[in-house]
Amino acid sequence: MPDHNQRRLQAFVEQGEHGTMGWMERRQAERQNPQVLWPDVKSIISLGFSYAPQSNPLNRVNDADLANISAYAWGRDYHDIVKKAAKRLASWLADEAKGQVKVFVDTAPVAEKPIAQQAGIGWQGKHTNLVNRNEGSWLFLAEIFTDFSIEPDKAADDGCGSCTRCLDVCPTKAFPTPYTLDARRCLAYLSIEHEGPIPEEFRKAMGNRIYGCDDCLSVCPWNKFASEAHETRFLQSRIRDLSLSDALSMSEEDFRKFFSGSPVKRIKWHRWIRNALICSGNAERSTWDRICSKVKSLQESKDPVIKESADWAIAQHAET
């Protein structure tokens, strides 16, 4: 990893901006030096897979009836789809080079965005995500580690220029400075990674975002060059069009069945309902009238986070 990326990661952890993601601190060494993860690695092949949606996800944040889910989770779990494709390529490479390979997709302590920039796929934008000149901000990443040498590609140049749209649109001001993120303020982190109550200062900003947030990605001007993802399994509408009412009505078993094969399942039912209740507190009056009985029933939950979130949602509408 280049020195400036190592310094950025170290500062991110030292300042506590990783929140409760303890693995970021525990596995720093592997992210900073791939040879700590696999001592035999000599070259890394970085792969990008477009999941560009059919329409701008930012258009969905004002739909009061919608359980708004991040575009990366509209379809099948990308871990499975991307890893299978990367493994096919890796197997061919290993046969051709008579060497060993290891494939990683998101779950290992790999600095995938700095690696992708070094490989020329794109650059880390001011929102800290990778941007590609042809696919915009909509990329899944994978890495093939090899124990044989490959001539490196030219690193990608930064293409952000003076643009600050991604910083300006963030509803919680989660970017202290360009190219840095405070995850503790990020709605994607709060709705997916964070296990406790959603801090009250961010609840109104959450709006209808029940899982993740695409705002900073959606406004990137480079997205105008992106065409809809070719892999249709990333674009299924069953999850994309879920209503807030349906989200609140899910039992634990319903949740497991509905999100089988989806990345959403990783937050489990309790966090899903917590998020749905915060969104309910932000709902318009017409939507609230349809869902208030479901929210009130969750006030009886034995889970203190769910009960408190239901109390909060009801209090928001008692004030109107």
- Does residue 106 carry a catalytic annotation? yes
Residue 142, C-beta contacts closer than 8 angstroms, at least 6 positions apart: 46, 47, 49, 82, 83, 85, 86, 103, 104, 105, 106, 112
**Residues 144, 89: contact at Cβ < 8 Å?**
yes
Structure tokens at 21: 């993601």
Residue 229 DSSP symbol: P
Position 237, amino acid: S
Q: Supply the angle between the helices 285-297 and 268-281 in degrees, to the nearest 10.
A: 140
**Residues 159, 179: contact at Cβ < 8 Å?**
no
* Whole-number Å distance between alpha carbons of 229 and 52: 5
Query: Which single residue is written with the structure tokens 């290993």?
Result: 94
Helix, strand, coil share (%) of the chain residues, nearest 5? 50, 10, 40
DSSP 37-106: H-TT--EEEEEEEE---SS-GGGGTT-TTB-EE-GGGSSS-HHHHHHHHHHHHHHHHHHHHT--EEEE-S
Element (H, E) at 146: strand 139-146
* Whole-number Å distance between alpha carbons of 129 and 169: 15
**Residues 23, 109: contact at Cβ < 8 Å?**
yes
* Whole-number Å distance between alpha carbons of 124 and 112: 10
Q: Name the residue among 224, 202, 199, 222 with its Cα closest to residue 213.
A: 202
Q: Choose the catalytic residue: 65, 106, 147, 311.
A: 106
Which residue numbers are catalytic?
106
